Structure 1
């Protein structure tokens, strides 16, 4: 059995950055990084290539899995702030979190990322407050999907001769006591021992990690779930925000339920795209720097957050079931609906969709979201749309 100093499970940005920083601090470390998906040079999506109109459930999703992770095809936003973006400040002082964010940014800049930053705007924050909307502030960098991909390529290339990278390696178990990782590669089962194991499995591996924690009696404290939609509209509607801060990060507390619903992942003049996570098809947004790839629409996610209480403790499967219902109703795709039809309790059909003033950038199935989304979350989303 092979023995190394560190085994990193997952080749997304977390795994890559962990390897990068470890090698920086201790160049002699023996590190093996195991990635379930393909090498970044082999990550292909037939939808993006124009070969098929909808997801065909590739055995390995070229968008969600592979070296550089789901972020390889994201729109490349980098947030320098502690106001949002996770729960690190629950464990570290804000100053320490910012220090590490800046360190990560310096690494990305070293590999081609832009140095330009959008600055916070108190004027826009005040405008939001006048309408009972709350805008979180941050310095924001926007690389664009195209430039972000090049940065990831360069970062990975700098690691290839310093660590061992094994792609198409599906980790099936990790023994935390014996420090042994079991994985399949080219239809053969392998084991590897690491003095330290790092889980960096990302969104595609969240279910695996949750089950692993349960198996090893490790309690999980995050029992909330975000259910939402991706909203697409003419880019001019949000132009006065995006030109100043790029991403409006706005949240609203619904009057009906008191739940938080928030804007997430804004893409100016971008595309809505499908992605496949463990056979569940959802949507995301991409935005390019190159002018010829821009559209006349901007898009953003609108997510309603629900925090569950005992005895329920499986928010990941809850979200999967909601998304699966949408896939079921749409015949293995995703649904698109006009806001006007949603408000009138009417299913959108192809005729009304073609006559709509805003044409979607994604070929999706016209339908009725109320048939697959829980009422509470859908009510929250509609109320927030009116507030916005």
Structure 2
């Protein structure tokens, strides 16, 4: 247990650089052994001052670098399938940021590849499951003292969208966290998606349908509504309220201390997800490192990543077609059956 887990980080952008910092300075039991990014200068900048790191522009070169025993994938979503399959071929445990694979066909190929191995290697980065407030909400629901959950009301707001962000990406990227959170909190699968568009905000780039209102139906009869607004302008807000038969529970309403000054009282609103979910990311990576050092993989599975991709695709169909879109999942491999042994 004294040996540090050597991690190859794929992607040195905003998310990847933050994970490099986290592994180097926050999480014990691991070290950054290699980093890969098509932009070699960006990769080198991300690991500046960290000893013993090799810098690469190709994924496989980083995976084969000396001392690499695990992989953290923080590259753009379209590169995830190739990286996951390469890690599987080497028997390396993986923490893969969402979306696991943007398209459901590719996500299913990852599921099938891992199922053929007969053991889990991938944990998918749905960090809401590691947030203390969401964990508290999950505990209340699982206790059952409020009765059956009937509805979830969710809000997902960003200050602004990055260049090139499309209307479909509000669902494929932003909504994917709510999709997984709903499945996890309720223990139910999503069966249909309806996307409704109000008029676009004047703060949204031309042609971007923002905000969007999404309704998810589940196989347990619950309804989940989500406001996705990625150019709200004032801060990063994530909230969730569960309405049950005998009560309700809300999270995400008080991000910081209440400050009174100049005749006004207010709380600071975080500017991005790395601030709001900083502790959740720390706990997520720490849990992954601890499990990997013991030869285990826990947390959200490749099946969870696949299910999120299928639901997101249905959401895009509803967005473009203007109608309710049904969700159809492939048969679940035994490796991902509820209660299956973690290996």
TM-score (norm 2): 0.28
Q: Which has more helix, going by share of residues?
A: 2
* Bigger Rg over Cα: 1
TM-score (norm 1): 0.26
